[in-house]
């Protein structure tokens, strides 16, 4: 199966780095203010971070006491950046798609994935793989682009209706591939209904402990901040039986 590895596209990678360097995106505005609620206790834990990108969460996990962290990502450019950002010997990086990478069953106490699973075509088998890497009673944390955001087809973003800004949702029930312009044309993501995502977690043998739809700590100054009027991300924390 051919999968998109857009983070290795030089134009996309440079544009993405610029956005991250601005330090005013979802990580800083929506995720970091909520890390205490989102993250499980990581002290002494073995962590696998799926779609680790530049290792943002790998470094945070170590700061929060994780014993060792393994980041998984298909993008060699993102992994090169990740390696530049830490020389911590307890953080290791493996190149591969989550669908293919071979890891030892039960090797992790915590498996995380932040803003990566909406790039995966079939979420149920991937969540089952991630659950298989967990030790008994281990915790999964999946943060994914919210179905309200992924549903639009084509992606139109905010619209003005009767003078008010609205986020149209017109293709919610039509699951599947979405292509959008984000830095470059043709970025492929996958839209799934909320019930599909939650049922895939349950089918993976996990018990859902917490669901969050965090909003921004401060709204952007520009005309209307979409992240302040609809959830940008869905966060699910679940435990292996």
Ligand X SMILES: C[S@@+](CC[C@H](N)C(=O)[O-])C[C@H]1O[C@@H](n2cnc3c(N)ncnc32)[C@H](O)[C@@H]1O
Identify how many contiguous H helices and E strands the chain contains and give both numbers.
9, 11
**Cβ–Cβ < 8 Å for 179, 1:** no
Smallest distance, ligand X to C-beta of residue 95, A: 10
Stretch of 95-103, 131-139, 158-166, 191-199 contacting ligand X, by CB under 6 A = 95-103
Gap between the Cα atoms of 239 and 169, Å rounded: 31
Gap between the Cα atoms of 149 and 157, Å rounded: 8
Stretch of 66-74, 134-142, 148-156, 167-175 contacting ligand X, by CB under 6 A = 66-74
> Is residue 130 close enough to count as binding ligand X by CB under 6 A?
no
The site that binds ligand X (CB under 6 A) totals a number of residues, namely 22
Stretch of 45-53, 164-172, 179-187, 198-206 contacting ligand X, by CB under 6 A = 45-53
Stretch of 60-68, 97-105, 149-157, 172-180 contacting ligand X, by CB under 6 A = 97-105
Sign for the pseudo-dihedral over CA of 151, 153, 157, 163: negative
> Is residue 39 close enough to count as binding ligand X by CB under 6 A?
no
Dihedral angle of Cα 91, 95, 100, 101, to the nearest 10 degrees: -30
> Is residue 56 close enough to count as binding ligand X by CB under 6 A?
yes
Stretch of 111-119, 183-191, 201-209, 226-234 contacting ligand X, by CB under 6 A = 111-119
> Is residue 50 close enough to count as binding ligand X by CB under 6 A?
yes
Q: Which of 116, 148, 204, 206 binds ligand X (CB under 6 A)?
A: 116
Q: Which of 40, 74, 147, 214 binds ligand X (CB under 6 A)?
A: 74
Gap between the Cα atoms of 56 and 24, Å rounded: 15
| Token pair belonging to 48 | 């696998």
Give the position of tokens 């006491």: 65
**Cβ–Cβ < 8 Å for 142, 127:** yes
Residue nearest to ligand X (CB): 53
Smallest distance, ligand X to C-beta of residue 162, A: 34
Smallest distance, ligand X to C-beta of residue 97, A: 4
> Is residue 120 close enough to count as binding ligand X by CB under 6 A?
yes
Smallest distance, ligand X to C-beta of residue 140, A: 14
> Is residue 133 close enough to count as binding ligand X by CB under 6 A?
no
Contact partners, residue 210, CB within 8 Å, separation at least 6? 37, 235, 236, 237
b/e burial code for range 135-158 (CB count within 10 A of at least 16 → b):
eeebbbbbbbbbbbbbbbbeeeee
Binding residues for ligand X (CB under 6 A) = 3, 7, 50-54, 56-57, 72-75, 78, 97-99, 114-116, 119-120
């Amino acid at each position: 199966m051919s999968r998109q590895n857009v983070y290795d596209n030089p134009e996309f990678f440079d544009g993405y780095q610029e956005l991250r360097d601005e330090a005013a995106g979802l990580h800083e505005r929506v995720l970091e203010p909520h890390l205490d609620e989102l993250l499980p206790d990581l002290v002494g834990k073995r962590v696998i971070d799926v779609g680790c990108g530049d290792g943002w969460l790998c470094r945070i996990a170590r700061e929060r006491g994780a014993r060792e962290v393994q980041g998984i990502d298909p993008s060699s450019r993102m992994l090169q950046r990740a390696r530049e950002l830490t020389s911590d010997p307890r953080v290791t990086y493996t190149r591969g798609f989550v669908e293919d990478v071979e890891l030892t069953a039960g090797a992790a106490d915590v498996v995380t994935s932040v803003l990566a699973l909406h790039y995966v075509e079939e979420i149920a088998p991937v969540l089952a793989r991630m659950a298989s890497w967990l030790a008994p009673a281990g915790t999964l944390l999946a943060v994914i682009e919210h179905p309200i955001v992924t549903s639009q087809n084509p992606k139109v973003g905010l619209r003005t209706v009767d003078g008010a800004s609205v986020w149209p949702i017109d293709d919610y029930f039509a699951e599947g591939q979405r292509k959008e312009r984000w830095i470059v044309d043709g970025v492929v993501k996958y839209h799934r209904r909320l019930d599909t995502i939650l049922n895939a977690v349950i089918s993976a043998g996990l018990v859902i402990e917490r669901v969050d739809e965090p909003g921004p700590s401060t709204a952007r100054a520009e005309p209307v901040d979409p992240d302040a009027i609809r959830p940008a991300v869905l966060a699910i924390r679940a435990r292996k039986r």
